[in-house]
Amino acid sequence: MKPLSLRSKIILATLATLALLGGAIDVFSGLRPVAVTISAPKEAKSLVTTPKTIARQLPLPDYSPVPVTEALSQRVAEYHIDVQLVPDTETLKASETVTWTHPGVKPVSDLYFHLYPNAFSSTDTTFMQESGGELRGDSMPDNGFGSMTLTDLRTTEGVSLLQRVQYVQPDDGNINDKTLVKVHLPQPVNGGESVTLKLQFEVKLPKIFARMGTSGNFVMAGQWFPKLSVYEPAGTRGVTEEGWNLHQYHGTSEFYSDFGIYNVTISVPSNYTVAATGFPVKNAKLKQEQKIYQFYADDVHDFAWAASPDFVYAEEALSTPEVPGVRIKLYLDPLHQDLKERYFQAAKAALTSFSKWYGPYPYSTLSIVVPPKGGNGAGGMEYPTLITAFGAAEISPNTSLERTIIHEIGHQYFYGMVASNEFEEAWLDESFTSYAEDKLMEQEYGIMANLPLQSSLVTTSQPLDLETWKYGGADSYTRNVYIRGKLVLKDIERLTSAKVMAAIMSSYTHKYRFQHPSTSDFQKIVEKVTGKSWQTYFDQYVYSGGAPDFAIENITIPSNKSNSGDAHSYESLVKVVNKGSAYANVPLKFTFSDGYTMERIWSGEHKETTFQLFHNAPLLSAEIDPDHSILLESKHINNFKLAALDQDTLSRWTVSMTKLLESVLGTLVW
């Protein structure tokens, strides 16, 4: 999903700065490959022995042969979909044939499908209740509702299963939520066997505000078809018992699906251009005022497409040692048609560096869709081999253009190929992608993220492996999953080194390519690369909402002269405490009234300690972490304290107000 908007960043930064300035007043008063073993799928399992009468269905098209490629993933699901955008109705009509190959061992009697468009069917759905009809700064337009209707569901032998459909709400029991459906099969599917179902469905597209829908004649079809839930065999993401991973569509949740094959035919009005996951099997053809496209993709876990009569199309090829050959396809809003080189440059930089850092980009295409201004609700989103930029609102946008492209291409690795469970461990995608985004923005554009300031925005730390809807709202979700999770990765880098962290990230993305890893899998990689246990660290900062909270508790100057025997030496006692989670090797800086500074390191072994200092001038101030290198601390106000000097001492030691201001303001300028 898109990084924080510039508007959101400005608001949050302003609030943080005001809080820090309030602290300054107190100071002045003295206070996104390993080989995968693939077994050949068995023939689709027949559910019945006697054919039944079949209701009239829209026929699936005669598909052209699709490429046969070496499997990179287990390919649990195979979808053949024929969809038509019905002109002037904002409606999709479609037929779907889906084959599911059981990846586990135990017999399965039910299949589960996500019907994501039903999240927008009323104000009573779980998504709408949790989001309040707002997402990422966008609100649902008036009368912007949408929905999905299953019009037919059958076995390959023609037996109707519509009467076996049951909407389920495993997360909150909301009977008004119809985003997850259970289909009871006539007979169980055993491990390694396959089952095929035929579906027909209609989608009333909502007005765009949450990733999918319409804006004028622009269409974004994301999460638009009945999509199988993930069945997790024992061992996947650490689960001990195999079974379905089932969740509704929540106000802050994104998605989790199994890898497979998609063969999709898309019919649109003849003046429309379509961008889609994968690559076209053949050129689009015109038939009865419809333009018909056919796309194919394998080793992906979703399929999205966009369409508009206004797209300005451009294409360039990229080939590097890590990217053997990919065609970058731009579908630009006319307002941005003169910015294509900026889009291409950002995309090439991202594909080149991310493939070098995290493993080769394995697909032959990458499509970039730039929505119109009114379609910004679909902007800044990732799908396999297709991303969306921010909606075109300015002729000359700032580097948020490049940042968004880089961020969304980063998702091709952590969301696309590593494919973590975004319902339950969203940080494995968003935090990792944000980490990669910052690194590349600095490398390519010289823009360094203001990490200490971002840290100050994390006012409430929560565990990083929470289900997304348990963060208590979009703000808390964003600050933990996007910001705090990224800061944890930066902190691991600080505690190891940039070189070691690069090895950690590379090992993780290569080992778990197409594997659905968990947080504990990432921890194992950290421990393997560094050769030591990180259990305590992960317990404090990942599996719980730990955060250090350092403070200068007290400064004492016993007398004008010390007992050290040096007639010109002053003794100072500085008590420092950590009111939060344990943290080792904490830097401190002591400034004396003659301008001399002294640095010390606190081991952090205990909750508090006292430093005894001697110098030939009185102590003026003490500061913890003066360079703000400890990114997991968000409360910086109590890190600085002035010594309480009597008037006689102040008169003996001339203290420049300029230097004092520099010392104080130095804690604020990050």
Residue 565 has pLDDT above 60, yes or no: no
For 585-627, what is each residue's pLDDT tens digit?
999 999 999 999 999 999 998 999 999 999 999 999 999 999 9
- 358 has pLDDT over 50: yes
Which SS3 state, helix, strand or coil, does residue 187 take?
A: strand
Between these two residues, 21 and 526, which has the higher pLDDT value? Answer: 526
Q: Write the DSSP string, 82-103.
A: EEEEETTTTEEEEEEEEEEE--
pLDDT of residue 415: 97
pLDDT score of 61: 45
Whole-prediction pTM: 0.86
- pLDDT score for 646: 54
Give me the phi and psi of 343, to 5 degrees please. -65, -45
Break the chain into its structural domains and give their ranges.
Answer: 81-253, 550-668
- Distance (Å, rounded) from C-alpha 239 to C-alpha 353? 33
289 is in an annotated binding site: no
Spatial separation of the C-alpha atoms in residues 13 and 81, rounded to whole Å: 46
User: What's the pLDDT at 567?
Assistant: 52
User: Does residue 279 sit in helix, strand or coil?
Assistant: strand
Q: For residue 5, give the DSSP letter.
A: P
Indicate if the pLDDT at residue 81 is higher than 70. Answer: yes
pLDDT, position 5: 52
Distance of alpha carbon 2 from alpha carbon 579, whole angstroms: 35
Q: What is the pLDDT of residues 233-264, one digit of tens each?
A: 999 999 999 999 999 999 999 999 999 999 99
Which residues, at least 6 apart from 223, have a Cβ–Cβ distance to it below 8 Å? 114, 116, 117, 211, 212, 255, 302, 304
User: What is the rounded distance in angstroms from the CA atom of residue 114 to the CA atom of residue 258?
Assistant: 12
Residues annotated catalytic, as ranges: 408, 482
Cα 258 off chain centre by: 18
Report how far residue 432's alpha carbon sits from residue 438's, in angstroms, rounded to the nearest whole number: 10
Measured distance CA(178)–CA(427) in Å, rounded: 26
pLDDT grade, residue 9 (50/70/90)? low
* Per-residue pLDDT at 267 exceeds 60: yes
Domain 550-668 has CATH 2.40.160: no
| DSSP per-residue codes, 477-545 | HHIIIIIIHHHHHHHHHHHS-HHHHHHHHHHHHHHTTTS---HHHHHHHHHHHHTS--HHHHHHHTSS-
Residue 344 near residue 316, CB atoms below 8 Å: yes
Angle in degrees, 0-180, between the axes of helices 498-511 and 485-495, rounded to the nearest 10: 120
Which DSSP symbol is given to 46?
P
Helices (H) and strands (E) in the chain, counts: 13, 33
Per-residue pLDDT band for 30 (boundaries 50, 70, 90) equals: very low
Give residue 38's pLDDT: 31
| Residue whose C-alpha is closest to residue 327's, from 371, 275, 392, 286 | 275
Q: Is it true that 81-253 and 550-668 share their CATH fold?
A: yes
| Rg (the chain; Cα; Å) | 29
Q: Residue 551's closest CA among 668, 463, 633?
A: 633
Average model confidence (pLDDT) across the chain: 88
Is residue 295 scored above 70 in pLDDT? Answer: yes
Enclosing H/E stretch for 433: helix 427-445
Rounded CA gap, 647 and 473, in Å? 51
Share of the chain above pLDDT 90, in %: 79
In this predicted model, what pLDDT tens digit does every residue of 88-147 receive, in sequence order? 999 999 999 999 999 999 999 999 999 999 999 999 999 999 999 888 878 888 889 999
What is residue 32's three-state secondary structure? coil
What pLDDT, on a 0 to 100 scale, did the predictor assign at position 70?
85
C-alpha distances in angstroms, 59 versus 198, 270, 417, 423, 527? 11, 21, 33, 35, 54
Average pLDDT for residues 179-187, to the nearest whole number? 97
Q: Which residue has the higher pLDDT, 23 or 230?
A: 230
pLDDT tens digits, one per residue of 496-508: 999 999 999 999 9
What confidence tens digit (pLDDT) does each residue in 148-163 have? 999 999 999 999 999 9
**pLDDT of 58 strictly over 80:** no
The confidence score (pLDDT) of residue 137 equals: 78
pLDDT at 141: 86
Q: Give the pLDDT band of residue 3 (cuts 50, 70, 90).
A: low
Does residue 557 have a pLDDT over 90? no
Point out the least confidently predicted range of 39-43, 171-175, 560-564.
39-43
Task: Quote the percentage of the chain above a pLDDT of 70.
Answer: 84
The answer to whether 411 is annotated as binding is: yes
Check pLDDT > 80 for residue 653.
Answer: no
What is the pLDDT averaged over residues 436-440?
98
Compute CA distances 79 → 16, 114, 194, 264, 342, whole Å: 48, 14, 13, 8, 35
Length of the chain in terms of residues written: 670
Average pLDDT, stretch 432-439?
98
Q: Which residue has tokens 């975004």?
A: 422
pLDDT, position 616: 92
Most confident of 31-35, 384-388, 612-616: 384-388
Pick the CATH number of 81-253 from 2.40.160, 2.60.40, 3.30.200, 3.30.43: 2.60.40
430 annotated binding-site participant: yes
